[in-house]
Amino acid sequence: MNCRDAIPLMHEYLDGDLPGTEAAKLKEHMLACRDCRAMFEQFEKTEALVRSLTPAPVPDDLTPKIMSGIPKPRRRSGWLRWVRRHPAVSVAAVFVAVMLVSFASLWNQDAELAVKGADLDQVQIHGHTVIVPQGRTVHGNLVVENGEVRVDGEVTGNLTVIDGTVNMASTAHIAGQIKQVDQALDYVWYKLNEWAGLIAR
Ligand SMILES: [Zn+2]
């Protein structure tokens, strides 16, 4: 057996469709071939990942008895099948997602602090930290991007923190809502959903 023959057999093996004699031949090849062994491990990982993301299939015994004489169609979700046919692309997509997460966290570190609001006179800024001091009142909304917010005083509107953290002192009072948005994470989720949607088609 050569490597080109081995790859389709790996998929059949993972599907549980490979007869014993073929499986033995495949195993024999993989014992001798490090490349195929590595590829098989990659397929297994993709398979496990996809399974963890795919809802459990409908049990087969729900199929009416009348159907028992007819060969059963494969019950598989569309995107599981797609992933099986395009394992390299799938692995690449997972890789890209992981890269996006690490890239996003790097990108956050260097991002510039931005503070928006109608009443910024009440706010103190030290480096990447935005402080609403005790006894001060920020009238209206306060939006902080790429920074840390410490609230000791009062905010009469909403506090929105984009890609940052919030620290509230016991003296703090925020009349509106506190919203934390992680743009990097949202972006990755968006991309992953887009990818999943594409496969499910
Ligand atoms: Zn090989």
The model's pLDDT over 107-137, given as tens digits with 9 standing for 90+, comes to 555 568 889 998 999 999 998 899 999 999 9
Asked if residue 175 has pLDDT above 90, the reply is yes
Ligand 1 centroid, distance to 51 Cα (angstroms): 26
pLDDT score, position 118: 86
Report d(CA 192, CA 187) in Å as an integer: 9
Higher pLDDT, 48 or 168: 168
Ligand 1 centroid, distance to 78 Cα (angstroms): 29
Ligand 1 centroid, distance to 2 Cα (angstroms): 6
Side-chain-facing half-sphere of 41: CA atoms under 13 Å: 8
Residue-range domain boundaries for the chain? 1-53, 112-184
Report d(CA 81, CA 63) in Å as an integer: 21
Higher pLDDT, 182 or 81: 182
Tokens linked to 22: 């073929």
Ligand 1 centroid, distance to 38 Cα (angstroms): 9
Tokens linked to 85: 């046919």
In the structure, ligand 1 is a single-atom ion and the residues with CB under 5 Å from it are 3, 33, 36
Ligand 1 centroid, distance to 150 Cα (angstroms): 59
